[in-house]
Every structure is written in C-alpha cells, then in structure tokens.
Amino acid sequence: MGAVAAPPASADPATDGLTVEKVTTTGTTTTTEASAEATATAAIVSKTTLRQAKAARQKRLARKAIDVAKKQIGDPYRWGATGPGAFDCSGLVQFAWRKAGVDIPRTTWSQLSGVKKKVSWDHLKPGDLIFTSGGGHVGMYVGGGKMIHSPHTGARVRIDKLDAYRKNSFVGAVRPGA
C-alpha cells in the first residue's frame, strides 16, 4: 500500500541537477485492474451462460410442444376448437404450447402479435409457429422442412411439407418460450 520511491535517477542536464525520483505504486492498482477484468469476464461468461441456458430451455419446451401436437395427429379440424379431441389451427398450437408450460394467445393474429420473439423463414427452428395465408393460418414447425397443423374443415391434424404455397403465403413466424 502506498508509494515506493525508486533510487534517484542519474544526473540529467534536462533536470538542472535536481534529483528525479520514479514513483510506482504497489500491486494495488494491478490487483484492482485484474479484479475489474475478472468481473467483466465473469459478466460476459454469465451472460453467455444465461443465453445458452435460455436457448436450451426453449428447445426443451419446443420439443415437448411438438410431442404434444404429434399426439393429436388424426384429430378433426373444428372451427374454434381448442382440444382435446378437435382443434382449429390456432387452438392446436395453443394447446400444445400450454401443455409444454408456455401460455400463448388464442387466435392466429394474437399469437403473431403477442409472442415477442419474431423469426424469419430462413431461421425456423422446431417449435416455431409459422403464419401463412395472410395470417389466417398457423402451424408449428417440426423440423426437416415440415409443419404440423390442423388445416381446414373436413381435414385432420397432420404433418405437411413446407411447400412453395406456404413459403409464398408466409406472413411471419414466432418462437414461443424464447
């Protein structure tokens, strides 16, 4: 702690014969700098770890939602139905995500606007909700270029490929639980 005087410097004409001392401090500054650096590094690691933990949690919840939705394959479409036993498109994804522990709004438009994390077509991950047909239809991405959905009256819950029609009528996507 405190200053330590170095031995006097050699005579230098620029100092007019005055004694010049070099003053250095002990490890206090170095320790403080190291502590600040360690704290900053810990904060970065903590943020990275937190981000990774949140991503892992979302992935786990998405897998659960997909599993729940797949168990509904074959159930009939019924307008306004939220299951179990029959679903409309938004009712199916709401049911699946609720069973996974994530509450999302009821209708397609409220799901699209109410789920915070927006996703582009090129960044879809399993569990993401895909909105097509002017926003009037929603399905859940299951990976491999496919989605599960309850398509329309007279149809049943099924998995379909994300074909050109769906890409061309794509309005947006969201990631529940993120």
Tell me how far apart the alpha carbons of residues 8 and 21 are, in angstroms, rounded to a whole number.
5
Both tokens of residue 75? 């159930």
Whose tokens are 């090129």? That residue is: 122
Both tokens of residue 124? 């879809």
Q: Is 120 a catalytic residue?
A: no
Q: Which of 89, 92, 100, 174 is catalytic?
A: 89
Both tokens of residue 117? 């994390």
Ramachandran area for residue 145 (φ above 0: left; ψ -120 to 50: alpha; else beta): left
Q: Which of 149, 157, 166, 174 is catalytic?
A: 149
Whether the link from the prior residue into 84 is cis, omega within 30° of 0, is yes
- Under 8 Å between Cβ of 21 and 8: yes
Tell me how far apart the alpha carbons of residues 77 and 84 are, in angstroms, rounded to a whole number.
11
Q: Is 123 a catalytic residue?
A: no
Q: Is 149 a catalytic residue?
A: yes
Whether the link from the prior residue into 8 is cis, omega within 30° of 0, is no
Q: Which of 108, 129, 137, 140 is catalytic?
A: 137
Catalytic residues: 89, 137, 149
